[in-house]
Chains A and B, each alone.
Chain A
Amino acid sequence: MMALPTIVLVSITVFDLIRFIPGDPAALMLGDMAQPEQIAQMRTELGLDKSMPQQFVIWAGNVLQGDFGKSIVNDEPVLPLVVSRFAVSAEIVLVAVLLASLIAVPAGVIAAWRQNSVIDLALVGTATVLLSIPTFWLGLLLLLFFGLKLGWLPVLGYVSIGTNVVGGLLYLVLPVMTLVIHEAGVLIRMARASTLEVLRLDYITHARAKGLSESAVLWRHAFKNAFGPTWTMIGLILGNLLGGIAVIETVFTIPGLGRLMVDAIFARDYPVIQGCLLFVALSYVLVNLTVDLLYPLFDPRVVAE
């Protein structure tokens, strides 16, 4: 229900904010040698001489017809540009979040099940360390170790899996590993906390009193109810990462959405910034909508409510 107003609000905010940042795209575009008249002419060509409400109405009208405009920097249509870059980011993010979830959720549940044991302390300690490491630093460390020292993985560049499966996978390893390590830390803690809460409830005691095995209690009764908050967290992480892994993309030279957005911000490429952020907002809303719709699979009470 809130999806549409969210996107409208985001688009208005983004449109205004980027125009409040100092820096004239026409001056940047034309470079040092441009005369004031040339800059003024370029501003007119780009429609930047119109009032902000006028510019917004034109842009929003075009967007509603599927026209996101053209990049000020290289004259490319924004929508195909954003979609192609998003596909690159999504490839990495989806694999990373899937792997992080597969590792972190069981680890969190086990940590909760063995609360205060050595396993719990080790898992929680590891998780805290992992989520405390900045991704750019972690990425560089992995790159230096696996790429430079061991020479196992390519240091830089990017190959799409569609072009070359082996090559594509090799190029994915380091960025995915960086994200998995970082996000697994967050998810382990979340899975542990929510499982602990559930394990304290009466129905778990009841299940144990019935003589069910610990495995059945944990995975059949506790996990299903405990997974809800973790599922929400996975959705938030997914939405967040899809919106920008600029740091990872910069370190590993991946031509993804985050890098496109950062480059566009430095160049004050308004149409690309607007297109990227609108797309990010849209994907965030869609991911969270999907998460909400799938929630009843894990917690039937949501449907009842």
Chain B
Amino acid sequence: MKKLLLAGVAVLAFTHGAGARDITIAQSSDLRSANPGVNRDGNTDGIILHIVEGLVGYNNSGEVKPLLAKSFDMSADGLTYSFKLRTDVKFHNGKPLTAEDVVWNWTRYLKPDTKWSCLSDFAQGGAAHVTGVKATDASTVTITLEKPSAVFLGLMSRPECGYTGMISPDSVAADGSFVTPIGTGPFQWDEWKKGEYIHLKKFADYVSPENDGKPDGMVGSKRPLADGVKFMIIPDASTVKAGLESGVLDTAEISPDLIPEFKSSEKTQLIVSRNNGKNLFYIQTRDKVLSNPGVRRAMAMALDLDELVAAASNGTGEANGSMVSQDSVYFNDTQKKRLPYDVEAAKKELAAAGYKGEPISIIANKRGNVPSFPAAIMAQAMMQQAGLNVQIEVLDYATQVDRRRSGNYQVISQSVAPRLDPALMYAFYVGNKDKNASLMWDDPKAVELMRAAYVELDQEKRQKIFDEFHELMLKEMPGIFLYDMVDVWGATKKLKGMPVWQSNARLWEVSVEN
């Protein structure tokens, strides 16, 4: 019987399994669409990252660098960008990338029919209104903006925008409908078995952008070392663990609870990587109790942030009270400032604010890969020490989103996906709450600073804006930032390289030993 079953498994591996040097990875949900930047979520972005590339991309420090472009220049008035294209780039169908292809792609993205997620950013009224895209010569493209924008290149590089990836015009049918993604990335589209897996195969003719031999965010060395990548849809964390232990999976995000087990395992390795996402307590500044900055500051001072972060992140996170990520070029000594942990001072602030023990509810969810619930539990215990009457309300994620969108909350223990430019991160929290109830902070000065960060092109001046913003935030405390998100992944010992970057799988320069 045993022999029969083993023979069957062997036959199965031979006939069905991916090639011997494929990397097999688990992800919690299926691809939404193979159309870059259209109908997307985080998992979709991770797959698309391997297939398409934009003119520019983020590096590890959050700076935008050339990718399909060899170089780019901005005119003195900040309105015209010239992208000189690399001449060694081919689409997966073998055709070379030309300036006309870039113009075709931009024209397609800017058509409302395409339903590009980022259209509003690049359309009239957006943060980087594109007024023209033209091919100056066979390898140069010029993009003009209505007004200067500090986030134009950053927006182009965003996962949510499908990296503004260039696809071959052969990717769409004659009627303009999308067929298949023929990109320029290190892996090419192969097969999608809905609900089961997505398989990409190596693009043998791939050439990396200029690099120093190492992967660097979305740029750097991007060699596809594996024959292919198979993304298996596995929603259950226990099954993922079994898959990694059995060697069926090569790598996957794991539940943080498994950190000790993976650390000590002989079969598997633990991969911990910080990203630019944020874990925070999102506060409703229009709430009757929480509209008083004194109460919000008291909440912050009641938290032993280092202890809270250590517990909520299973020892992987590091406290960071700033909206700016620790890995950003803009993270300096000013950004390191935070309110002190001081329970007595918190009590005094509460007394001065006239707080009389009114209940404060923290909304949390129990999704496995975010610290929403453990952070809320820790905060509740700490805040109660200072006399705050904190309760926890556990909701499913969809309901939590609904409550935030409608403004119907007091505090939400929330995680926010990575945004590599601080100004783009600010936009998640700051703005007019009358127009958008989901925003956290509508202080006029904060809104003014955010707008300035969107248009200021000089890095030093931007730094000053971000520093002023941080000081204002410490005074007003519209939300309590806890720590930068941490990706906790497991892998077999056979996997070589770093398979995750900014919460997404990144499987170039990653291999599996046979």
Binding site for B on A (CB under 8 A): 21-24, 27-33, 35-36, 38-39, 73-76, 81, 85, 140, 143-144, 147-148, 150-159, 163-164, 166-167, 169-170, 250-253, 255, 259-260, 263, 266-268
Least distance between A178 CB and chain B CB atoms (Å): 13
Given the complex, which residues of A lie within 8 Å of B195, measured CB to CB? 85, 255, 259-260
The answer on a CB contact under 8 Å between A74 and B238 is no
Given the complex, which residues of B lie within 8 Å of A28, measured CB to CB? 398, 401
The answer on a CB contact under 8 Å between B238 and A159 is no
Cα distance A253–B9 when bound, in Å?
A: 17
The answer on a CB contact under 8 Å between B405 and A156 is no
Closest residue of B by beta carbon distance from A39: B405
The answer on a CB contact under 8 Å between A251 and B403 is no
Closest residue of A by beta carbon distance from B11: A166
Given the complex, which residues of B lie within 8 Å of A253, measured CB to CB? 196, 232-234, 236, 239
- Choose one: B160, B248, B398, B403; the contact of A266 (CB below 8 Å): B398
Given the complex, which residues of A lie within 8 Å of B204, measured CB to CB? none
Closest residue of A by beta carbon distance from B121: A33
Q: Tell me the chain B residues, 384-405 only, with Cβ under 8 Å from chain A.
A: 395-399, 401-403, 405
Given the complex, which residues of A lie within 8 Å of B246, measured CB to CB? 147-148, 151, 155
From B29-37, B86-94, B137-145, B296-304, the one touching the partner chain is: B29-37
Q: A156-B234, A164-B16, A251-B236 are known; give 17 further A-B pairs, CB within 8 A.
A: A22-B399, A27-B401, A32-B416, A36-B405, A36-B437, A75-B33, A147-B242, A153-B5, A157-B196, A163-B16, A166-B11, A250-B235, A253-B196, A255-B194, A259-B235, A266-B398, A267-B398
Cα distance A151–B233 when bound, in Å?
A: 21
Cα distance A227–B481 when bound, in Å?
A: 65
Least distance between B280 CB and chain A CB atoms (Å): 13
Q: Tell me the chain B residues, 426-442 only, with Cβ under 8 Å from chain A.
A: 428, 435-438
Residue B288 at the A interface, CB < 8 A? no
Given the complex, which residues of A lie within 8 Å of B405, measured CB to CB? 24, 27, 36, 39
Given the complex, which residues of A lie within 8 Å of B170, measured CB to CB? none
Cα distance A144–B242 when bound, in Å?
A: 7
Residue B15 at the A interface, CB < 8 A? yes
Cα distance A299–B196 when bound, in Å?
A: 44
Cα distance A166–B5 when bound, in Å?
A: 10
Q: Tell me the chain B residues, 1-39 only, with Cβ under 8 Å from chain A.
A: 2, 5-6, 8-9, 11-12, 15-16, 29-33, 39
- Choose among A75, A76, A152 the residue with the greatest number of B CB atoms under 10 Å from its CB: A152
Cα distance A279–B9 when bound, in Å?
A: 34
Leading 10 A-B pairs by shortest Cβ distance: A23-B398, A255-B195, A167-B12, A22-B399, A152-B5, A155-B246, A22-B402, A250-B236, A156-B243, A170-B8
A-B contact pairs, 20 of them (CB 8 A): A24-B402, A24-B405, A27-B402, A28-B401, A36-B435, A147-B246, A153-B9, A154-B12, A157-B196, A157-B232, A163-B16, A169-B8, A250-B235, A250-B236, A251-B238, A252-B239, A253-B239, A263-B29, A266-B396, A267-B398
The answer on a CB contact under 8 Å between A268 and B6 is no
Cα distance A29–B248 when bound, in Å?
A: 31
Least distance between B342 CB and chain A CB atoms (Å): 33
Given the complex, which residues of A lie within 8 Å of B29, measured CB to CB? 263
Given the complex, which residues of B lie within 8 Å of A155, measured CB to CB? 239, 242-243, 246, 248
For B208-248 the 0/1 string (1 means CB < 8 A from A) is: 00000000000000000000000011111011001101101
Residue B105 at the A interface, CB < 8 A? no
Residue B417 at the A interface, CB < 8 A? yes
Residue B120 at the A interface, CB < 8 A? yes
Residue B117 at the A interface, CB < 8 A? yes
Given the complex, which residues of A lie within 8 Å of B243, measured CB to CB? 155-156
The answer on a CB contact under 8 Å between B248 and A157 is yes
Cα distance A144–B395 when bound, in Å?
A: 31
Closest residue of B by beta carbon distance from A256: B195
Cα distance A251–B243 when bound, in Å?
A: 11
- Choose one: B12, B197, B402; the contact of A164 (CB below 8 Å): B12
The answer on a CB contact under 8 Å between A35 and B239 is no
Cα distance A33–B402 when bound, in Å?
A: 14
Cα distance A116–B372 when bound, in Å?
A: 54
Residue B65 at the A interface, CB < 8 A? no
Given the complex, which residues of B lie within 8 Å of A170, measured CB to CB? 5, 8-9, 12
For B322-339 the 0/1 string (1 means CB < 8 A from A) is: 000000000000000000
Given the complex, which residues of A lie within 8 Å of B146, measured CB to CB? none
- Choose one: A32, A38, A260, A268; the contact of B417 (CB below 8 Å): A32
Given the complex, which residues of B lie within 8 Å of A154, measured CB to CB? 9, 12, 248
Residue B468 at the A interface, CB < 8 A? no
Least distance between B24 CB and chain A CB atoms (Å): 9
Q: Tell me the chain B residues, 419-454 only, with Cβ under 8 Å from chain A.
A: 428, 435-438
Residue B40 at the A interface, CB < 8 A? yes
Residue B509 at the A interface, CB < 8 A? no
Given the complex, which residues of B lie within 8 Å of A29, measured CB to CB? 39
The answer on a CB contact under 8 Å between A22 and B403 is yes
Cα distance A169–B264 when bound, in Å?
A: 35
The answer on a CB contact under 8 Å between B12 and A166 is yes
Cα distance A14–B236 when bound, in Å?
A: 26
For B124-150 the 0/1 string (1 means CB < 8 A from A) is: 000000000000000000000000000
The answer on a CB contact under 8 Å between B12 and A74 is no
The answer on a CB contact under 8 Å between B196 and A268 is no
Cα distance A90–B246 when bound, in Å?
A: 28
Cα distance A42–B15 when bound, in Å?
A: 44
Cα distance A148–B428 when bound, in Å?
A: 44
Given the complex, which residues of B lie within 8 Å of A144, measured CB to CB? 242
The answer on a CB contact under 8 Å between B242 and A38 is no
Residue B41 at the A interface, CB < 8 A? yes
Given the complex, which residues of A lie within 8 Å of B235, measured CB to CB? 250, 259, 263
Cα distance A277–B397 when bound, in Å?
A: 22
Least distance between B400 CB and chain A CB atoms (Å): 9
Least distance between A28 CB and chain B CB atoms (Å): 6
Given the complex, which residues of A lie within 8 Å of B5, measured CB to CB? 152-153, 170
Closest residue of A by beta carbon distance from B367: A266
Given the complex, which residues of B lie within 8 Å of A21, measured CB to CB? 398-399
- Choose one: A30, A140, A147, A148; the contact of B117 (CB below 8 Å): A30
Cα distance A303–B294 when bound, in Å?
A: 79
The answer on a CB contact under 8 Å between B242 and A33 is no
Least distance between B324 CB and chain A CB atoms (Å): 18
The answer on a CB contact under 8 Å between A31 and B41 is yes
Closest residue of A by beta carbon distance from B240: A156
